[in-house]
Amino acid sequence: MSNIIDKVFEHSTRIIAFSVLLIVAWIFTVLFQNSLDSMQAFGFDFITDTKWAPNLEKFGALPAIMGSVISTFLAMVLAVPVAIGVAIFLSEIAPEKLKSPIGVSIELLAAIPSVIYGMWGLFYFVPIIRDIFGGLGIGMLTAGIVLAIMILPFMAAVTRDAMDTTPDILKESAYALGGTKWDVIKDIIIPYAKAGIIGSMILALGRAIGETMAVTFVMGNVHKISLAITAPATSIPVTLANEFTEADTELYFSSLFELSFILLLISFTIISIAKFYFLRKTRRA
């Protein structure tokens, strides 16, 4: 009897596990199939063309792709140094009494739904940017900053966890050679935690590039590549969120699907790289 229960259990967990695989494959297939019309119509030009004119049945995705890449890049440039600073403070500098309250607050920040970051950004951040740089206040720069604030807590928390894994005895060895706190942080802790730090950054990058709600509020949805980072722009998720309801032709619909297919490929690549780093780390330990 117990033998049968074991068998049932074994098979049901197997089915559930494989269904995950199936769903991934399904999504890939659906996105690819729906993109076919657009792929046939524009070919490789879809990625390199800058003109997105639904009324002319002309779809070029470069502004959206560039928007995703640049806003994410801005977010990373702003968030990485701050996240590392916060992590160093929490792991090495803060007195014991402060570690836990600040650590918990950061984890709470990481749990705020992205739509709230978007609303907060639109109503309280856009005016500040407008005052400083002029213009509308919505655009690439605002999106980058809001994204940076959004990914920062996650990055800081994971980086801190990675730094905390440095064995005390290793730190003490460096102090015992006459190292200062700064020497120990830069020569021992950061190199030791390197894999975890890079992993957290890549995961944050993956989250930023696919982020929709936070960015939709503050990006502007303008399909134009502008030299000014304060000008309104768009990104792949922003385009998808704004335009699916308006997609009145087959080609428009298919073009949006091709955009989402491209986004999926980018995210998939990023996660694969992160996995590679994490796997390397676990194999070592």
Partner 1 sequence: MATIINIPHEKALEVKDFQFTYNGTTEPSLKEISMPIAKNSITALIGPSGCGKTTLLRSFNRMHDLYPGNRYEGLIEFKGRNILEPKEDLIQLRTCIGMIFQKPTAFPMSIYDNVAYGLRLQGIKNRSELNDRVEKALQDAAIWKEVSSRLKHDANGLSGGQQQRLCIARAIAVEPEVLLFDEPTSALDPISTQGIEKLVIELKEKVSIIIVTHNMQQAARVSDYTGFMYLGELIELGITEELFVTPKERLTEEYITGKFG
Nearer to partner 1, 196 or 220 (CB): 196
Candidates 4-12, 62-70, 173-181, 248-256; binding stretch for partner 1 (CB under 8 A) = 173-181
Footprint on residues 192-251 left by partner 1 (CB under 8 A): 192, 194
Torsion, Cα 94 108 24 205, to 10 degrees, reads -50
Locate 5 and state its tokens. Answer: 């229960």
Candidates 1-9, 26-34, 162-170, 199-207; binding stretch for partner 1 (CB under 8 A) = 162-170
The secondary element (H helix, E strand) that includes residue 226 is none
Distance between CA atoms of residues 186 and 134, nearest Å? 40
CB 74, min distance to partner 1, A: 31
Q: What per-residue string of b and e applies to 30-44 under the rule 16 or more CB within 10 Å gives b?
A: ebeebbebbbebbee
Size of the site for partner 1 (CB under 8 A): 21
CB 179, min distance to partner 1, A: 6
Distance between CA atoms of residues 21 and 15, nearest Å? 10
Residues 6 or more apart in contact with residue 166 via CB below 8 angstroms: 188, 189, 192, 193
Question: In the set 2, 5, 21, 95, which binds partner 1 (CB under 8 A)?
Answer: 95
Q: Does position 176 bind partner 1 by CB under 8 A?
A: yes
Question: In the set 10, 57, 107, 172, which binds partner 1 (CB under 8 A)?
Answer: 172
Q: Does position 170 bind partner 1 by CB under 8 A?
A: yes
Q: Interface with partner 1 by CB under 8 A: which residues?
A: 95-96, 167, 169-180, 183, 187-188, 191-192, 194
